[in-house]
Amino acid sequence: MVNAGDVAAGVEHASAALQSLPSKDQIRPIIALGKEVLGAVPAPQISKPAVIEFRECLELTGAG
């Protein structure tokens, strides 16, 4: 979704998926995928609320 240009929907989907997992399942490969999603966000959109929220979600998992 992010690569297709729908950044808000993409990071919201990724955030919901990550948050739906129990802590024990928020393992390194899952976090790495989240970081890939975040890395795909175009620079002009990194300050959008949905992107900030997703970044914070990743940080709360210990990935930040």
* pLDDT digits 0-9 by tens, 17-57: 999 999 888 889 999 999 999 999 999 999 999 999 999 99
**Does pLDDT of 64 surpass 80?**
no
- Say how far apart CA 57 and CA 62 lie, in whole Å: 9
Phi-psi label, residue 20: left if phi above 0, alpha if psi -120 to 50, beta otherwise = alpha
**pLDDT at residue 61 in the model:** 82
Are 38 and 54 within 8 A, CB to CB? yes
With a threshold of 0.85, does the pTM exceed it? no
pLDDT tier at 13, thresholds 50, 70, 90: very high
